[in-house]
Structure formats: structure tokens, C-alpha cells
RNA sequence: GGAGCCGUGGUGUAGCCAGGUUAACACGCCGGCCUGUCAAGCCGGAGAUCGCGGGUUCAAAUCCCGUCGGUUCCGCCA
């Protein structure tokens, strides 16, 4: 059979959908050639589309034309195939494929479009250099893991939309070209042609706009919002990323938190078949710092930090006693799930602690009634007993201790992570969610010698802490909450200030004069005079959510066209120079 | 801004520390054989001036310096 140039038969089914029940039916498939196996007589073609893969059999005894066409087919060619679905002979069933019980006996095959040999193999496991994959991202996305991640991402956002919309949220778009606001990350800036010398900024988040929408009386807003921050990149940070952003009127923290518990348990049940117990556990910021040394603790592991200061108050071990006498504390944790590691590994722990910025780390291993430790000789029997008692250390178990001020918290937090990874410790669960609440309203910025908002300047102080605003600002907690999953901050939010007087007091602590505040976000302040409802919300990093759900280590693996660490896109070549004429039009000149 | 790691046919690696033959292996690619494979098999073939620049040396993929790209982390990211 001769085919007309440009002719192709349109598909009747998707490759990956064919099953045993379809046996006997005539189908037309369109797809990419994953692989061709030519046995001289019969030719097998693995045909791929977005739904998956199915085997096409081109037997010259069935159709000489189809077989002849198949001989000219190469990898990544796009073809059509008309044929009949057949259950495979029992010994030829491929249990590795969802479609492995069937195959399509080709009666007609034609090439729709050709392809050069791709620069890398389109297959599951890809050790291929990421820069090359990014340059040919459209080929990279043909690989199943990337394709699946993008499918998952689409389903997650779809479900988020369904869920929020069913709860009365309205999806509203906010500007991409907007005004640079102070504090926070460095802005991406866009020059204005109509107003030379002036600039838009791309939004770091729709924060201010969503508050305006609450003042506007829309009651509940959400958006799958692109955000831009001109800061250095990381595995979990891109210059542009996507937030699930939402805001609600007439709510307290509890309302936001419980709604999000519901949304996330739904997502995980639907897409990962994981049942998450709700409500998710909660820790206040203070508890989190005390027990895990971090405001984003990984609760898949125990290794809770305890205070052992009392045990060393009068110790012969000078390093610890001095630390205690100088107002410091001795804190540490037991490495759950590790027994009698070799000396070499214990020494590695000390090195790691130093890398984390600690001046030292002491390990102790329970051996019989005593403790093996580099500092054992400085410890009295009473101290050893007190430690063994307080730590609950069992035979062979390891206790790590560090002494000093608040700076040892992050060190111990780092050591928890390191131990979990280094010793491959068992997880209590695959996904450990936790809310961290009541963050401090302010941090002290040592460089600029002033208070800064921990979250942002519109975050409401806890009602019972408002009186401390002026006297002891660092002790003021806020009505804020972060959702943390496996040690990754997924999102955070707060109840906002709706009382004008409170807002002014906060600005005053931040050292913002009325004029400065007016200049920086006067439009919001003005809006907040016109009957703002009490409101609050939260914003999530969608990329991070999907990354964790897909079991990936980088958000680049769940973004169709991500950027490299230097912010470039190897596919398009962005960023790039522009024509001099463009600069002239914008009244811009390079320095 | 700082620290670490990586860069060798189309792809992934070995070789580099201890400089010295035609730079090795696997996958892919091309050709041949082959009617049940699915990482097909067997036979044959093509394909790399070792990221780039400079230096040391009789001699550099290998040592030194610089630079570019990628990546991880610290700083930064309200």
C-alpha cells in the first residue's frame, strides 16, 4: 500500500491504555519510537506517547508493507500504526509493562516525522549531564520520570484548584509588573519605556495584593502564582517559582491550619495513596528550637535534643563547666537506631560538627555501667550515672553533646540531619508533617543594628504579647505558622494586622517613620483604613511540594524549563544581551 | 562574596594521584545475519587533538596557574 506524502492516520487509542480487554479491537496509534528490535523477520517497535508504552509487532506474513515501513523506522521517529490488539502468547507476556499482556499486530505503519539520533538516550535512568538535558529539555521530558513528575504537578494543582474553589475561594490574578517593595529578597526589575528611568519589579509574592483583595471583600482568594526573587540558587530554589497562595477573611490561625491539614491529607491520599493522620502535629517555634534546634525540624527521626546542663554544673570537664559558668548550656541527643559504631565514625561526627561551625562535639557510648568517651576520664561516677539516667542511653548507644549558647541549636540540628543520612537511620514514617507556630515577630539584625520582621511587617502579634511590643520586642510572638515536611519548609503564613494602631506600633519598632512606611507601602496602609476584615493566609512552594511527592531532590526535576545555578536557561540562551536599539528606547546605558 | 566536587567519542565512565606505545570499556549509532524480542542476540565498522587558554617538561588527558560551564553547600532567600 502506498501512502500519500503527508498522510497519517489519526489515533483511536493511547498507547499506554491498552489492556487485555482490548484484545481483538482494531486500533490506530500515534507515537514516538522508543526502540526497534529487528529480528530479521519480525520487527518489534516499542511505541510511546504521554500515556505510556506498548509493543507493536510488524510481521511480514501479516503485512509486508507494514514490515517494510518498520525497517525504515528509527528511534524517536513519530509514526502511526493501524493494527489489531492481541493478547500476547503466555511466554511472551512482559510483566514490567502495564500494557505487557497485549501487543498490537501492525497492518499498516507510516512515518509521520523523522528525528536525528538524539543527543542522549531517552530512557528511565538518566546519568546524563543536566546542562545537556536542559538544552534539549523537550527530549528530556520524554523520559518517564520527568514526564510523570509534570503529570503529578498538573494533577496536584488541579486538585488544589478544585479543593479551594469548593471551599469558597476565588482564583484571582495579580500583577506581574508591580512595585518594588523594601525588605525581603532582591527584586527582579523591569525598565519602563513609557516612563524612562522608572522600573517595575516582579512580585516576590502576591502578599500585598491578596491583602487588598480581602479589604475588597472577596472573602477568600487563592492563586497559583509565579513569584520572582533575585537571590542565589539552590537545589530547592529557582529565581522564578510557583506559590499556592491563599488568603481568608474573618479567620484565626486555627482556621487556616485545619483547612490545610485537610487539603494536604487529600493530596497525599489521592496521588500517593498515603493516609496522613490529622490534625498534623504542631510545635511552637520555641519548642521546635528547644527540641530540634531548628524551625523546620525533620520529624521522621527521633533524636530529640535534651538539656544536660545540670549534669555538668560542677564537672571536672572544664570545657563544659566553663560554658555553663558563662551562661551557656550543654545540650545533645541520642542517635536513635545506631549501636556501637566504630571509632572512625564517631570521629567523623566531630569533624562534621566542626564543619557546621561548632567549636567541638563530645560523643559518649554506653558500655556496661560506664561510658566510653574522649572525656570519660573527666567525669565522676555520679556524673556518668546522672547522664546515663537522664539520656536513657542503652548498651552501645551514642549520645552527642555540645556546649555553648543558642548557636549550638543549629549545630545539633545539622547533626541530626547528618546522622540520619550518614547512618541511613530508619524513618518513623515516609512523610512527617509538622506545623511550627508562634514565630518571634522580630529578629535583631546585627549588621544594621535594628529589628526586622521575621515574617513580614503585616504579621499580627499574638494577642497576649502585644503589650511587650515596645518594651521587649524580641519576646513578642506572632500569629504565624509554617508547614514543614521532612525538614523542608513547604509554606508559611500568618494572620495579618487589621488594626491601624497596632500596625503603626510595629512600624515604629522596625524603625520605620510614618513617612517611610507611607512611601514604601502607603497604598496598603491606606487600604487598611477602609474597613479591613481580620484576615490571614498562607503561601506554599508548589515546586517543593511536588518535589517531595515525586521523591526528587531538586525542584528542577519538577519544573518543565528550569534554570541553572547561574540563572541561565541552556535551551533558550536566556539571559542574553539585547539590541542597542532596545536599550535606547528604554533610556538605558550599560555602566 | 566564600568553600567543595565534576568536565575524556553522541551518552555514561576508566585512565590523572606516581607524565612516556595506536586514550580503554559499556551504551548508543551505521552495516550484515537472524521470526518472539522487550536492556534482543551474534559478526563487522565509524566515531574523542581529553571544556578553553597559558605554563613546566625532551614529552601533558595526567603536574601548575588562570578561565568558562555544571553542581552541592555557607552567606543570601521578610
Tens-level pLDDT at each residue, chain A (591 residues): 445 567 899 999 999 999 999 999 999 999 999 999 999 999 999 999 999 999 999 999 999 999 999 999 999 999 999 999 999 999 999 999 999 999 999 999 999 999 999 999 999 877 899 999 999 999 999 999 999 999 999 999 999 999 999 999 999 999 999 998 777 899 999 999 999 999 999 999 999 999 999 999 999 999 999 999 999 999 999 999 999 999 999 999 999 999 999 999 999 999 999 999 999 999 999 999 999 999 999 999 999 999 999 888 778 888 888 888 888 899 999 999 899 888 888 888 888 888 787 878 899 999 888 889 988 888 888 888 888 888 889 999 999 999 888 888 888 999 998 898 888 888 889 999 999 999 999 988 877 788 889 999 999 999 999 999 999 999 999 999 999 999 999 999 999 999 988 998 999 999 888 888 888 888 888 999 999 999 999 999 999 999 999 999 999 999 999 999 999 999 999 999 999 999 999 999 887
d(Cα A483, Cα A296) in Å, to the nearest integer? 8
> Which strand B bases fall within 7 angstroms of a protein CB?
1, 10-13, 27-30, 33-41, 69-78
| Cβ count within 10 A of residue A215 | 19
Give the closest nucleotide to A134 (alpha carbon vs C1'): B70
Q: Between the CA of A39 and the C1' of B34, what is the distance in angstroms?
A: 6
Q: Residue A538: enclosing H or E segment and its boundaries?
A: strand A535-541
* Residue A291, pLDDT score: 94
Give the closest nucleotide to A208 (alpha carbon vs C1'): B78
Give the closest nucleotide to A44 (alpha carbon vs C1'): B37
CATH of segment(s) A301-422: 3.30.1360.30
Q: Between the CA of A16 and the C1' of B17, what is the distance in angstroms?
A: 51
Q: Residue A325: enclosing H or E segment and its boundaries?
A: helix A318-325
φ/ψ bin of A516: left (φ > 0), alpha (ψ from -120 to 50), beta (otherwise): alpha
Burial label, A43 (beta-carbon count in 10 A; 0-12, 13-18, 19+): buried
Q: Residue A108: enclosing H or E segment and its boundaries?
A: strand A102-113
Matching residue, cell 507493536: A56
Q: Between the CA of A563 and the C1' of B47, what is the distance in angstroms?
A: 32
Say whether pTM exceeds 0.90: yes
* Residue A332, pLDDT score: 93
Q: What residue ranges of chain A are covered by domains with CATH 2.40.50.140?
A: 2-113
* Residue A555, pLDDT score: 97
User: Topology of A2-113 in CATH?
Assistant: OB fold (Dihydrolipoamide Acetyltransferase, E2P) (2.40.50)
* Residue A331, pLDDT score: 92
* Residue A5, pLDDT score: 65
Q: Between the CA of A544 and the C1' of B67, what is the distance in angstroms?
A: 35
Q: What residue ranges of chain A are covered by domains with CATH 3.30.1360.30?
A: 301-422
Give the closest nucleotide to A62 (alpha carbon vs C1'): B35
d(Cα A9, Cα A191) in Å, to the nearest integer? 50
Q: Between the CA of A553 and the C1' of B15, what is the distance in angstroms?
A: 31
Give the closest nucleotide to A183 (alpha carbon vs C1'): B78
Q: Between the CA of A143 and the C1' of B7, what is the distance in angstroms?
A: 24
ipTM of the complex: 0.93
CATH of A129-285+537-591, picked from 3.40.50.960, 3.40.50.2000, 3.90.850.10, 3.30.930.10, is 3.30.930.10
Residue nearest to nucleotide B78 (CA to C1'): A184
Q: Between the CA of A141 and the C1' of B32, what is the distance in angstroms?
A: 35
Amino acid at each position: 500500500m502506498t501512502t500519500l506524502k503527508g498522510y497519517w492516520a489519526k489515533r483511536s487509542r493511547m498507547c499506554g491504555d491498552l489492556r487485555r480487554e482490548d484484545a481483538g479491537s482494531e486500533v490506530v496509534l500515534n507515537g514516538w519510537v522508543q526502540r526497534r528490535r529487528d529480528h530479521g523477520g519480525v520487527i518489534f517497535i516499542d511505541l510511546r506517547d504521554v500515556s505510556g508504552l506498548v509493543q507493536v509487532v510488524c510481521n511480514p506474513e501479516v503485512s509486508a508493507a507494514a514490515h517494510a515501513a518498520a525497517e525504515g523506522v528509527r528511534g524517536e521517529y513519530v509514526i502511526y500504526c493501524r493494527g489489531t490488539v492481541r493478547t500476547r502468547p503466555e511466554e511472551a507476556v512482559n510483566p514490567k509493562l502495564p500494557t505487557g499482556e497485549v501487543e498490537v499486530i501492525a497492518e499498516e505503519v507510516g512515518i509521520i516525522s523523522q528525528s536525528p539520533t538524539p543527543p542522549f538516550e531517552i530512557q528511565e535512568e538518566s546519568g546524563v549531564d543536566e546542562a545537556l538535558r536542559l538544552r534539549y529539555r523537550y527530549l528530556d521530558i520524554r523520559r518517564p520520570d520527568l514526564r510523570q513528575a509534570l503529570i503529578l504537578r498538573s494533577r496536584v494543582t488541579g486538585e488544589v484548584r478544585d479543593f479551594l474553589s469548593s471551599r469558597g475561594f476565588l482564583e484571582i490574578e495579580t500583577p506581574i509588573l508591580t512595585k518594588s517593595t523594601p525588605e525581603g529578597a532582591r527584586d527582579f526589575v523591569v525598565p519602563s519605556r513609557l516612563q524612562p528611568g522608572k522600573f517595575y519589579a516582579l512580585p516576590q509574592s502576591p502578599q500585598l495584593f491578596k491583602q487588598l483583595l480581602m479589604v475588597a471583600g472577596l472573602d477568600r482568594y487563592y492563586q497559583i502564582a509565579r513569584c520572582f526573587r533575585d537571590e542565589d540558587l539552590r537545589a530547592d530554589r529557582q529565581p522564578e517559582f510557583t506559590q499556592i497562595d491563599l488568603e481568608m477573611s474573618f479567620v484565626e490561625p486555627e482556621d487556616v491550619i485545619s483547612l490545610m491539614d485537610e487539603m494536604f491529607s487529600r493530596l497525599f491520599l489521592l496521588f500517593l495513596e498515603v493516609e496522613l493522620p490529622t490534625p498534623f502535629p504542631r510545635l511552637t517555634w520555641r519548642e521546635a528550637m528547644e527540641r530540634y534546634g531548628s524551625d523546620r525540624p525533620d520529624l521522621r527521626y527521633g533524636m530529640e535534643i535534651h538539656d544536660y546542663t545540670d549534669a555538668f554544673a560542677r564537672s571536672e570537664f572544664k570545657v563544659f563547666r566553663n560554658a555553663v559558668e558563662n551562661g551557656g548550656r550543654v545540650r545533645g541527643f541520642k542517635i536513635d537506631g545506631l549501636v556501637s559504631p566504630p571509632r572512625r565514625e564517631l570521629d567523623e561526627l566531630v569533624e562534621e560538627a566542626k564543619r557546621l561551625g561548632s567549636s567541638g562535639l563530645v560523643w559518649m557510648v554506653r558500655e556496661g555501667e560506664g561510658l566510653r568517651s574522649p572525656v570519660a576520664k573527666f567525669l565522676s561516677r555520679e556524673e556518668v550515672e546522672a547522664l546515663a539516667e537522664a539520656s536513657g542511653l542503652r548498651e552501645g548507644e551514642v549520645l552527642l553533646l555540645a556546649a555553648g549558647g543558642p548557636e549550638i541549636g543549629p549545630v545539633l540540628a545539622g547533626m541530626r540531619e547528618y546522622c540520619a543520612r550518614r547512618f541511613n537511620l530508619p524513618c518513623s514514617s515516609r512523610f512527617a508533617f509538622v506545623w511550627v507556630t508562634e514565630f518571634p515577630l522580630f529578629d535583631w539584625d546585627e549588621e544594621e543594628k535594628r529589628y526586622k520582621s521575621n515574617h513580614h511587617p503585616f504579621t499580627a502579634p499574638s494577642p497576649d504579647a502585644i503589650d511587650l511590643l515596645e518594651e521587649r520586642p524580641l519576646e513578642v510572638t506572632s500569629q504565624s505558622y509554617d508547614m514543614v515536611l521532612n525538614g523542608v519548609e513547604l509554606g508559611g503564613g500568618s494572620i495579618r494586622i487589621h488594626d491601624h494602631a497596632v500596625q503603626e506600633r510595629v512600624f515604629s519598632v522596625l524603625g520605620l517613620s510614618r513617612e517611610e512606611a507611607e512611601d514604601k507601602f502607603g497604598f496598603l496602609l491606606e487600604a487598611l483604613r477602609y474597613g479591613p476584615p481580620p484576615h490571614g493566609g498562607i503561601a506554599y512552594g508548589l515546586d517543593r511540594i511536588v518535589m517531595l511527592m515525586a521523591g526528587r531532590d531538586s525542584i528542577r526535576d519538577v519544573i518543565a524549563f528550569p534554570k541553572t545555578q547561574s540563572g541561565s536557561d541552556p535551551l533558550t540562551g536566556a539571559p542574553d544581551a539585547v539590541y542597542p536599539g532596545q536599550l535606547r528606547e528604554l533610556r538605558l546605558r550599560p555602566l
